[in-house]
Amino acid sequence: RKEVEQDPGPFNVPEGATVAFNCTYSNSASQSFFWYRQDCRKEPKLLMSVYSSGNEDGRFTAQLNRASQYISLLIRDSKLSDSATYLCVVNEYTGNQFYFGTGTSLTVIP
């Protein structure tokens, strides 16, 4: 079983739509959670950390559900520039390994 699993998509949504991605993780001892964005042939860039209480940054909202072992990312009012692959990342503090999902591809259509 993979440590982190994501639906690879692709998600094709019109501009202005709301889209949500989920990601599940297998280790209940995981400590830190992140969403990264990766554009084609570029390096991943940190989008946001995910806190236990949930957090929001502009049009982006991240949630953590420890009981069900998943994190989510909600993007409101999608822009063309949101088109990218979104990577879910989980850190098991004791091992300090970071596990990346395979990514979810998003295309925002005009």
Partner 1 sequence: DTGVSQDPRHKITKRGQNVTFRCDPISEHNRLYWYRQTLGQGPEFLTYFQNEAQLEKSRLLSDRFSAERPKGSFSTLEIQRTEQGDSAMYLCASSPGVGAGGAEQYFGPGTRLTVT
**Would you tell me which residues interact with partner 1 (CB under 8 A)?**
4, 8, 32, 34, 42-46, 49, 87, 91, 95-103
Report strand pairing: 104-109 vs 11-14. Answer: parallel
Q: Which is nearer to partner 1, 16 or 56 (CB)?
A: 56
CB of 77 to partner 1, least distance (A): 25
CB of 47 to partner 1, least distance (A): 11
Residues 6 or more apart whose CB falls under 8 angstroms from that of 14 comprise 78, 108, 109, 110
* Number of CB atoms found within 10 A of residue 38's CB: 17
CB 104 within 8 A of CB 11: yes
Q: Which is nearer to partner 1, 40 or 67 (CB)?
A: 40
Tokens of 47: 């989008």
What DSSP string describes 49-75? Answer: EE-TT-EEETTEEEEEETTTTEEEEEE
CB of 41 to partner 1, least distance (A): 8
Q: Which is nearer to partner 1, 18 or 94 (CB)?
A: 94
Q: Which is nearer to partner 1, 45 or 66 (CB)?
A: 45
CB of 97 to partner 1, least distance (A): 5
